Amino acid sequence: MSVLGDVSHEQHIASLLSTILNKEIKEDPERSQVLCKKCFKLVHELDELQNRVTEIKNEILENHKSCVQKTEIEDDFEVQETKELTDKTMEESNKENEVPKKNSRYTFFR
Protein backbone atom coordinates (compact mmCIF):
# COMPACT_ATOMS: atom_id res chain seq x y z
CA MET A 1 0.00 0.00 0.00
CA SER A 2 1.26 3.43 -0.80
CA VAL A 3 2.01 5.53 2.23
CA LEU A 4 1.76 8.61 0.07
CA GLY A 5 -1.38 10.62 0.14
CA ASP A 6 -2.29 12.52 3.29
CA VAL A 7 0.99 14.12 4.40
CA SER A 8 0.21 13.99 8.13
CA HIS A 9 -0.84 10.33 7.83
CA GLU A 10 2.32 9.59 5.88
CA GLN A 11 4.44 11.29 8.53
CA HIS A 12 2.62 9.39 11.27
CA ILE A 13 3.25 6.04 9.55
CA ALA A 14 6.90 6.99 9.02
CA SER A 15 7.19 7.95 12.69
CA LEU A 16 5.65 4.63 13.78
CA LEU A 17 7.99 2.71 11.50
CA SER A 18 10.96 4.66 12.85
CA THR A 19 9.95 3.68 16.38
CA ILE A 20 9.35 0.04 15.47
CA LEU A 21 12.57 -0.33 13.50
CA ASN A 22 14.53 1.86 15.90
CA LYS A 23 15.95 3.82 12.99
CA GLU A 24 15.15 7.10 11.33
CA ILE A 25 12.95 6.84 8.26
CA LYS A 26 13.85 9.45 5.64
CA GLU A 27 12.32 10.01 2.27
CA ASP A 28 14.68 8.51 -0.26
CA PRO A 29 13.87 8.62 -3.98
CA GLU A 30 15.98 5.49 -4.48
CA ARG A 31 13.82 3.48 -2.08
CA SER A 32 10.25 2.42 -2.40
CA GLN A 33 7.59 4.49 -0.66
CA VAL A 34 5.25 1.53 -0.57
CA LEU A 35 4.38 -0.78 2.31
CA CYS A 36 2.93 -4.17 1.70
CA LYS A 37 -0.69 -4.55 2.74
CA LYS A 38 0.21 -6.90 5.61
CA CYS A 39 2.79 -4.48 7.09
CA PHE A 40 0.47 -1.52 6.65
CA LYS A 41 -2.32 -3.34 8.50
CA LEU A 42 0.07 -4.32 11.30
CA VAL A 43 1.37 -0.75 11.68
CA HIS A 44 -2.21 0.53 11.64
CA GLU A 45 -3.26 -2.06 14.25
CA LEU A 46 -0.28 -1.14 16.44
CA ASP A 47 -1.26 2.52 16.20
CA GLU A 48 -4.84 1.71 17.25
CA LEU A 49 -3.61 -0.42 20.16
CA GLN A 50 -1.24 2.32 21.33
CA ASN A 51 -4.12 4.81 21.19
CA ARG A 52 -6.30 2.42 23.20
CA VAL A 53 -3.54 1.94 25.80
CA THR A 54 -3.31 5.73 26.14
CA GLU A 55 -7.10 5.97 26.58
CA ILE A 56 -7.04 3.25 29.26
CA LYS A 57 -4.14 4.94 31.09
CA ASN A 58 -6.02 8.25 31.03
CA GLU A 59 -9.18 6.60 32.31
CA ILE A 60 -7.26 4.94 35.16
CA LEU A 61 -5.64 8.27 35.99
CA GLU A 62 -9.01 10.06 36.03
CA ASN A 63 -10.54 7.31 38.18
CA HIS A 64 -7.61 7.56 40.57
CA LYS A 65 -7.92 11.34 40.79
CA SER A 66 -11.65 11.02 41.41
CA CYS A 67 -11.14 8.42 44.14
CA VAL A 68 -8.41 10.48 45.80
CA GLN A 69 -10.60 13.58 45.76
CA LYS A 70 -13.55 11.59 47.10
CA THR A 71 -11.37 10.09 49.84
CA GLU A 72 -10.02 13.53 50.75
CA ILE A 73 -13.57 14.89 50.96
CA GLU A 74 -14.64 11.93 53.10
CA ASP A 75 -11.56 12.38 55.29
CA ASP A 76 -12.33 16.07 55.68
CA PHE A 77 -15.91 15.20 56.57
CA GLU A 78 -14.75 12.59 59.12
CA VAL A 79 -12.32 15.10 60.64
CA GLN A 80 -15.13 17.65 60.91
CA GLU A 81 -17.48 15.06 62.46
CA THR A 82 -14.77 14.01 64.93
CA LYS A 83 -14.10 17.64 65.83
CA GLU A 84 -17.80 18.32 66.36
CA LEU A 85 -18.17 15.18 68.47
CA THR A 86 -15.09 16.07 70.52
CA ASP A 87 -16.36 19.62 71.02
CA LYS A 88 -19.77 18.34 72.11
CA THR A 89 -18.21 15.80 74.50
CA MET A 90 -15.97 18.48 76.00
CA GLU A 91 -18.93 20.82 76.46
CA GLU A 92 -20.89 18.08 78.23
CA SER A 93 -17.88 17.23 80.38
CA ASN A 94 -17.37 20.89 81.27
CA LYS A 95 -21.03 21.22 82.25
CA GLU A 96 -20.75 18.20 84.51
CA ASN A 97 -17.64 19.60 86.18
CA GLU A 98 -18.93 23.14 86.62
CA VAL A 99 -19.18 24.50 90.11
CA PRO A 100 -22.78 25.53 90.72
CA LYS A 101 -23.32 29.26 90.67
CA LYS A 102 -24.05 30.97 93.92
CA ASN A 103 -27.77 31.03 94.46
CA SER A 104 -29.43 33.21 97.02
CA ARG A 105 -31.40 30.26 98.35
CA TYR A 106 -28.35 28.19 99.13
CA THR A 107 -25.28 29.03 101.04
CA PHE A 108 -22.16 27.02 100.74
CA PHE A 109 -19.73 26.79 103.59
CA ARG A 110 -16.12 26.10 103.37
pLDDT digits (tens, 9 = 90+) for 65-91: 888 887 777 767 676 777 777 777 777
pLDDT digits (tens, 9 = 90+) for 31-74: 777 888 999 899 999 999 999 999 999 999 999 988 888 777 77
Give the number of domains in the chain.
2
Residue environment code for 11-37, b if the CB has 16+ CB neighbours within 10 A, otherwise e: eebbebbeeeeeeebeeeeeeeeebee
Q: What mean pLDDT do residues 84-106 have?
A: 65
Verify that 58 and 26 share a domain, yes or no.
no
Residue 60 included in any domain:
yes
Verify that 87 and 58 share a domain, yes or no.
yes
Residue 104 included in any domain:
no
Structural domain boundaries enclosing 83: 39-91
Verify that 87 and 44 share a domain, yes or no.
yes
Q: Is the pTM of this model over 0.85?
A: no
Verify that 4 and 29 share a domain, yes or no.
yes
Residue 109 included in any domain:
no
